[in-house]
Structure 1
Amino acid sequence: MEAIFPPSFFTIMFHLVIHIGEEAIIAGPVQVHWMYPVERGMGHFKSYVHNNSAAEGCIAEGSLTEENLTNCSMYFEDVNIETRFNRPRRNDDDNEINASSESTILSRLFPALGKPIGAIKTLSISSLEIIQAHRYVLTNCEIVDAFREKFRIEVSRMYRGKRNSSKLVEEYVHKHFHEWFKEYVASQNGVEITPEIEVLANGPNNVMRRFKEYNIQGFKFRTIWKEQGLKTQNSGVVMSVVTKRFSNGRESIEQSSDDMYYGKLIDITELNYYGKLKVVLFKCLWVDTTLNKGIKIDQFGITSVNFSRLMHTGAKETDEPFILASDARMVYYVDDPIDEDWCCVCHMKPRDIYDMGNVDFVDLEEPPMEDIPFCEQHLENIEDLPLVRVDRDEQEQGESTNDDGDSGGDDDDRDSVGDDDDGNDYDDGMRD
């Protein structure tokens, strides 16, 4: 590049890119020679200077004061005093309640995660919303799966031999299981009916607590009504769900797929099972997951959604507008300037929380980080690398000078004896 483009083309940024490869070969890993931490530390020390005539004294006094405060702050860990070591995160979601239920089993299935922000309203909701929310809680409860399978076997006998029997059975189970579950538990007095089962079978009351903001999993969620007039967007929700589909035909074949559901948060409610269990749910407007209808993916892998084509709006009893707050992740939507009804999906990462992967899983085949060798540093070849740019004209001129002025003598003889500026011979060695 330097031989093709003129010197004026290479600004400081272009020139920096040229030497990045050579610098990596010479110096090795970037953490060894990165100067940003040093510069940041110097900037921190400069903030202590309030008197330019005594800069060193200000830095020494400020460093000593900070060290003393840091030492004292370590003793305030168990006291309700906020310091730099125990201050809450930006989106604090530490709940003061240790469990969402009096029962250990229910508190494990529905832990008290997240923290409401702002004013809390206690309102009564419609019976339709109660059924939809209660149905979703039963669907995501492991201790109810055995009862659901028993009800599915009974329903299968009703639709035996009919067309699309598998699809009809799933639709019937989804719609009527909560009713059958309540009647079945009330009529049984066996060992399988535990107090936790009775709490779930009786269902919630019609009074809910509603929030406008909620912090969970490092995200701050707001309803679309709360963020009206704001420049920030915190109502985008995404959730990964395993969906069952049935093929058309007399013998319908069940297929499962992992689908991404995108929506906007419209309500945050806390379902209350008469004080025995509390579950926080998000009610959302969900985009139709049909490809090229409510969602599409372009050639660059960018996902776009269309909120003019919705599903599970909550108008029907079989709709599922609610999800558990712990299952929600945040996204934000950017309007497409070409397609007016479409908007691009942008995923987000929570602040102050890092994805460390599955810490319980240890891959024995993968070598630890300490055993992975770094890039070999060729420090012995540093003299051979052209670290200074030489123009072609100067190089050609230097070669022509050497050709004309070469006396043909032996260069080795000049290592010990040479000429000084006055033309006298000097000895390069030590004089006696």
Structure 2
Amino acid sequence: MAPTQCMKAENIMLTMLIPGPTAPSNNIDVYLQPLIEDLKDLWTEDYPGLGTLAGCKVKGKQACNVCGKETPHRWLKFGRKHVYMGNRKRLMPGHPYRRRKGWFDNTVELGVSKRIQSGKKYLKADMPVRHNIDVMHVEKNVSDALLSILMNNEKSKDGLKARKDLQDMGIRSILHLEKRGKRTYLLPAAFWLSKEEKSMKSHDHHVLLQNLFPVALRGLLPKGPRIAVNRICNYFNRLCQRVIDPKKLLTLEAEIVETMCQLERFFPPSLFDIMFHLPLHLAKEARLGGPVHFRWIYPFERYMKTLKAYVKNFARPEAFQEAINRNEDIEATENVLEGRPLQKATEVTLTDKERETAHRYILMNAAVMDPYIELHLEELQATDERCTKNETLLWKYHTERFPQWIKDKIPNNSKEHLKRLRWLAFGPRNNAHTYKGYVVNGHRYHSDDVKRNTQNSGVTYEAFSMCRASAKDSKQMADMVAYYGVIKDIILLDYHMFQVPLFKCSWAHKGKRVKEEEGFTLVNLSMNQSSFANDPYILPSQAKQVFYSREDESSPWYIVMRAPPRGYHELETEERFDYEPSVQPIEDIGYQSDDESFCVRDDCEGVLVDV
């Protein structure tokens, strides 16, 4: 069975082990030995389960099952645990981080990382990967640890023992403990959020780490810790893409080493448990084993949630029978070309100009019209010499004349053309239907006047547009341009025999209303729509959903956030999601001197601890 089918819920085979009074407990690895023999080709499990079921070491000096005996470990005297730093060994020999003593563990790094263990050595089998590290669990644990240390809550790894370990290692003296009477004072670290900034809450660590962290921390933390956190977020974002260029994975392997070194510089050693070491190997595993969504646990976890909902008696979970099929694919309405509307329709009457504008857009973007568009362009060039020399004039005439030309070319009583093509050339009625919501390609959209807790009206659309290199350049060229906007109306045009959906949008002006800052796209949604009056529409299939996060209450600028469609990782849609966030180079991180003043925030309160 193909990987795209194996991860479908309807193809998952469930084997249940019901624990009882004579359960094997810690000896379950012996009990499951026959099963493990069959699973040697690919073993996916959360990391602690690897130690329980496969007998691997997941704690102590050899906690990394990939590095084995070469796992870089350090024992924290006061934290009483092993941490896994030493990432500078993986850098190039001349990298500047190798010479920085005070930034890391007070030593100059001269060593090099040794070759990792292979699956062949481990299982005596021909395997490129000795164990498949589950991205889902690593991502969740990294996100949880970062959120806790930024919020400085009860789970934070920057406490009294962590500061004592800094003092024991002789680094970041400015963060060492201060005695204030009978109590000990912990200075506010550069990565702490102030009370006013602690307003971010989320339980979905996948979305949190890849989408919300970079936006939420923008403008809050000092530049160094913020960029380091953004880089680890971008790493997981690019790693989890459905389509990955193998050449880019080599770059990703080098970037994650620098990113982990940056985290080592700004965050305490106590943060770097084994979950902060495993990301170093994920890019190589993707290079050897393919995209992560064929190997992670998300589909199984979600399917288990569905199955648990069928259980009525938890003392007898084996007695349940699945009542429904978990196929969430959305079937399109028969007389609608794509997708399906939500809620009740409202009938409206379009003006002749509105009808012509919408009809022209559909004709120009319908795939079935492509041969006729080429034919019309050739006729214009043959009949008017100016159109041959002036491409702008050619497309102007084409846009204005094509609807009437195609109507004459394909009469409604033609026997040579398909019925749908004849009605498309004939044109729609003035009476149309509008809706508040629409579902297409796994996305759920709503017009912006719908008051909801979730925001579903943001869209982006990439289109070829005639543009100039500068204001002084008179020559126009066709180039791909990204437009950002919000849905104002969802309209279904009635073409007598079928309906065609359109999104009518308000668009941000390219140039003054769209800008790039620190790897983020910002748009100004306070827009005058006069320049888009003749072209406000897009087809639902052309829309890519985005979300807008306002910089602050007084700012007109919104940060653009992208998210994959529903069912994207479960392969319930064929849509590609090729968004790759930019990664800032290490030169932009700042703090290149040995001055440690950046380690403490002067706008945040510290913590008094009773010893």
TM-score by length of 1: 0.57
- Per-residue deviation, 1:3: 2.5
Aligned mates of 1:14, 1:247 — CA distance in 2: 48
Is 1:271 the equivalent of 2:524? no
Instruction: Name the residue aligned to 1:407.
Output: none
Partner amino acid for 2:458?
G
What SS does the aligned partner of 1:186 have? coil
Aligned mates of 1:22, 1:263 — CA distance in 2: 38
Aligned mates of 1:208, 1:360 — CA distance in 2: 29
What SS does the aligned partner of 1:138 have? helix
What SS does the aligned partner of 2:391 have? helix
Aligned mates of 2:341, 2:480 — CA distance in 1: 30
Partner amino acid for 1:205?
R
Give the 3 Å change call, closer, same or farther, for CA 218–196 of structure 1 in structure 2. closer
Which of the residues 232, 242, 255 maps onto 2:454? Answer: 232
Instruction: Name the residue aligned to 1:86.
Output: 326
What SS does the aligned partner of 2:564 have? coil
Instruction: Name the residue aligned to 2:219.
Output: none
Which of the residues 140, 143, 152 maps onto 2:368? Answer: 143
Which of the residues 525, 529, 540 maps onto 1:307? Answer: 525
Per-residue displacement from partner, 1:245-299 (whole Å, max 9, x unpaired)? 46899x9756332221101100001112102x2211111011112x2x121112x
Is 1:3 the equivalent of 2:169? yes
Give the 3 Å change call, closer, same or farther, for CA 164–284 of structure 1 in structure 2. farther
Instruction: Name the residue aligned to 1:154.
Output: 379
Aligned mates of 2:559, 2:535 — CA distance in 1: 24
Instruction: Name the residue aligned to 2:480.
Output: 258
What SS does the aligned partner of 1:353 have? coil
Partner amino acid for 1:220?
R
Does structure 2 retain, via aligned residues, the 8 Å contact 1:304–1:344? yes
Does structure 2 retain, via aligned residues, the 8 Å contact 1:312–1:320? no
Partner amino acid for 2:514?
I
Instruction: Name the residue aligned to 2:536.
Output: 321
Does structure 2 retain, via aligned residues, the 8 Å contact 1:117–1:215? yes
Per-residue displacement from partner, 1:122-165 (whole Å, max 9, x unpaired)? 22222222111111111122232222222223323454248972
Which runs of 5 or more residues in structure 2 are unaligned? 1-165, 178-183, 187-266, 286-296, 577-611
Aligned mates of 1:159, 1:252 — CA distance in 2: 22
Q: Which shifted more, 209-218 or 339-348?
A: 339-348
Partner amino acid for 2:363?
L
Per-residue displacement from partner, 1:35-91 (whole Å, max 9, x unpaired)? x99xx9xxx9xx9xxxxxxxxxxxxx954532211xx22xx34xxxxxxx5375xxx
Which of the residues 350, 356, 361 maps onto 2:565? Answer: 350
1:30-49 pair list within 5 angstroms = none
1:170-319 pair list within 5 angstroms = 170-186=395-411, 191=416, 193-227=417-451, 230-245=452-467, 255-275=477-497, 277-289=498-510, 291=511, 293-298=512-517, 300-311=518-529, 315=533, 319=534
Give the 3 Å change call, closer, same or farther, for CA 150–188 of structure 1 in structure 2. farther
Give the 3 Å change call, closer, same or farther, for CA 180–238 of structure 1 in structure 2. same
Give the 3 Å change call, closer, same or farther, for CA 335–128 of structure 1 in structure 2. same
Instruction: Name the residue aligned to 1:107.
Output: none
Instruction: Name the residue aligned to 2:124.
Output: none
Aligned mates of 1:231, 1:263 — CA distance in 2: 19
What SS does the aligned partner of 2:569 have? coil
Give the 3 Å change call, closer, same or farther, for CA 355–326 of structure 1 in structure 2. farther
> C-alpha root-mean-square deviation of aligned residues, in Å?
4.4
What SS does the aligned partner of 1:169 have? helix
What SS does the aligned partner of 1:119 have? coil
1:110-149 pair list within 5 angstroms = 110=337, 112-113=338-339, 115-149=340-374
Structure with more of its chain in strand, by fraction: 1
Does structure 2 retain, via aligned residues, the 8 Å contact 1:166–1:246? no
Is 1:17 the equivalent of 2:271? yes
Give the 3 Å change call, closer, same or farther, for CA 268–162 of structure 1 in structure 2. closer
Does structure 1 retain, via aligned residues, the 8 Å contact 2:501–2:540? yes
Per-residue displacement from partner, 1:275-329 (whole Å, max 9, x unpaired)? 2x2211111011112x2x121112x1211112334456664xxx11111112212
Is 1:341 the equivalent of 2:547? no
Aligned mates of 1:217, 1:280 — CA distance in 2: 13
Does structure 1 retain, via aligned residues, the 8 Å contact 2:447–2:490? yes
Does structure 2 retain, via aligned residues, the 8 Å contact 1:223–1:234? yes
TM-score by length of 2: 0.42
Give the 3 Å change call, closer, same or farther, for CA 246–360 of structure 1 in structure 2. closer
Aligned mates of 2:467, 2:407 — CA distance in 1: 28
What SS does the aligned partner of 2:271 have? helix
Does structure 1 retain, via aligned residues, the 8 Å contact 2:380–2:387? no
- Per-residue deviation, 1:23: 7.4
What SS does the aligned partner of 2:526 have? coil
Give the 3 Å change call, closer, same or farther, for CA 173–17 of structure 1 in structure 2. same
Does structure 2 retain, via aligned residues, the 8 Å contact 1:294–1:310? no
Per-residue displacement from partner, 1:167-189 (whole Å, max 9, x unpaired)? 11101111221011112223996
Partner amino acid for 1:283?
K
What SS does the aligned partner of 2:560 have? strand
Aligned mates of 2:437, 2:327 — CA distance in 1: 21
Instruction: Name the residue aligned to 1:380.
Output: none
What SS does the aligned partner of 2:436 have? strand
Instruction: Name the residue aligned to 1:331.
Output: 546
Partner amino acid for 1:264?
V
Aligned mates of 1:139, 1:355 — CA distance in 2: 33
Q: Which shifted more, 172-181 or 349-358?
A: 349-358
Aligned mates of 2:574, 2:423 — CA distance in 1: 35
Does structure 1 retain, via aligned residues, the 8 Å contact 2:412–2:422? no
Partner amino acid for 2:449?
W
Does structure 2 retain, via aligned residues, the 8 Å contact 1:159–1:165? no
Aligned mates of 1:121, 1:14 — CA distance in 2: 59
Equivalences, count:
296
Partner amino acid for 1:207?
N
